[in-house]
Structure 1
Amino acid sequence: MPRTEVTVHVNRGNADALEPAAGTLETDGSVALRLQGHVSPAHVHCRLDGDLERIASIEQSNYYVEPDAVTTVPVVVDADTIDQPIDGRLEVVTGYGSESVTIDVTVVPGPPAVDIDDSLSEPTRREPDSTALEDAIDQFTAVSGLEPASLAVVALGVVAIVIATTTAATIASPIATAGLGIVVVGVVVAFLLLVW
């Protein structure tokens, strides 16, 4: 919650008059009591009453309020020490006790503290996910019994045969056909050497 404020009008209309802007207040932290001066200056006394005294404090109790000026009274509330709502009263008195107003205050527990671990500032590193190609290679390796390096040699042999076949078909000469045969024999020999 943002800082809570409550206003009490002092000497509005006649001397020694107090008018609170609100009769009740709920907060989970400190409160700013705003004493709004009007026609004439006044001495104002502030005090806490009830269970509110256990968890709240006012730095000083007496304040001088100038006409047409605001005097702020900080009411420090320690809501971190409670686990259930606390009720009390904030009393404002003027005219040597002849005039007083009471504001009912309920302090609710603040939000729980969040511990931030230093490890949250460090980026996390994820292992890269295996790709479909890696999965296919692993399955083929398990079925065929060949190592991944051997599979690479076989793949290069297949590429060489495809290129030789395309070249022989394009040129259509006996020398290109003989070259295709040599490439096929070389790939078959290399495959046999890998298997045994």
Structure 2
Amino acid sequence: MSPTEVTVHVNRGSADALEPASTALETDGSFRLSLAGHESPAHVHCRLHGDLERIASLDGTNYYVEPDSVTAVPIAVDADAIEQPVDGRLEVLTGYGSESVTIDVTVVPGPPDVDIDESLAEPVRSEPEPTPLERAIDQVTAVSGLGSGTLAVLALGVVALGIGAVTAASIGGPVATAGLAIVVAGVVVALFLLLQ
């Protein structure tokens, strides 16, 4: 429940008149009594009755209500102290007690407190499990001290050397051997540049 308000109109239509906007209120915490002044000023007295007195309190009991203005009366309620609904009454009086209205108030227990662990404030970053290939690359990178880009070029060079060697062996001849030599030279130059 959100903070609640109950309104009582004072001196609307005649002197010493009290007119509540509602005669009952249910809340799970503190609420406010709004005394809405009308034609003439008034002195208003407020008090609590029943079990409501046990868990609620008023800042003051006597209020001066100006015409065409609203006087707010905060009513503090300790709903944490109860486990079952508590019933009581809020009485509003004016004209030295000649006029009064009663508002039935029911205070229900508030929602239970939730203990929040500090670890809930930290974002959880879920990273997917690495694939076997990614784990192997990470291990080789850690052992060799080479970066993953260097290892990728090295692997590509090994594949190129393999293809060149198979091609030179199957075709044969000086042209195939010269092609294999060019591939080997390219891989060596690439490794030299990467390791600098």
TM-score, normalization by structure 2: 0.71
Query: Residues of 2 paired with 1:94 and 1:167: CA distance?
Result: 113
Query: Residues of 2 paired with 1:167 and 1:49: CA distance?
Result: 106
Distance 1:37 1:177, change over 3 A: same
Query: Residues of 1 paired with 2:9 and 2:179: CA distance?
Result: 107
CA-atom RMSD in angstroms:
3.2
Query: Residues of 2 paired with 1:76 and 1:127: CA distance?
Result: 49
Alpha-carbon contact 2:10-2:18 (below 8 Å) kept: yes
- Equivalent in the alignment of 2:163: 162
- Equivalent in the alignment of 1:118: 118
Gapped runs of 5+ residues in structure 1? 138-148, 181-196
What is the identity, as a one-letter code, of the residue corresponding to 1:174? G
Q: CA deviation at 1:168?
A: 6.1
Please list, as runs of the form range in 1=range in 2, the aligned pairs for 1:76-95 lying within 5 A after superposition: 76-95=76-95
Distance 1:127 1:68, change over 3 A: closer
What is the identity, as a one-letter code, of the residue corresponding to 2:70? V
Distance 1:178 1:29, change over 3 A: same
TM-score, normalization by structure 1: 0.71
Query: Residues of 2 paired with 1:167 and 1:85: CA distance?
Result: 93
Indicate the SS of the match to 1:84: coil
What is the identity, as a one-letter code, of the residue corresponding to 2:108? V
Alpha-carbon contact 2:164-2:179 (below 8 Å) kept: no
Cα deviation, 1:3-53, whole Å, max 9, x if unaligned, reads: 211100001011111000001111111111000011111111100011111
Gapped runs of 5+ residues in structure 2? 137-143, 145-154, 181-196
Please list, as runs of the form range in 1=range in 2, the aligned pairs for 1:37-48 lying within 5 A after superposition: 37-48=37-48
Alpha-carbon contact 1:164-1:179 (below 8 Å) kept: no
Distance 1:22 1:134, change over 3 A: same
Q: CA deviation at 1:80?
A: 1.3
Indicate the SS of the match to 2:49: strand
- Equivalent in the alignment of 2:18: 18
Indicate the SS of the match to 2:84: coil
Q: CA deviation at 1:159?
A: 5.7
Query: Residues of 2 paired with 1:166 and 1:92: CA distance?
Result: 105
Cα deviation, 1:45-102, whole Å, max 9, x if unaligned, reads: 1000111111100011011111111111111111111122111111101111111100
Query: Residues of 1 paired with 2:58 and 2:90: CA distance?
Result: 10
Cα deviation, 1:110-158, whole Å, max 9, x if unaligned, reads: 12222222222334465651315469x8xxxxxxxxxxx9xxxx99866
Query: Residues of 2 paired with 1:134 and 1:45: CA distance?
Result: 78
User: How many pairs does the alignment contain?
Assistant: 166
Distance 1:179 1:71, change over 3 A: closer
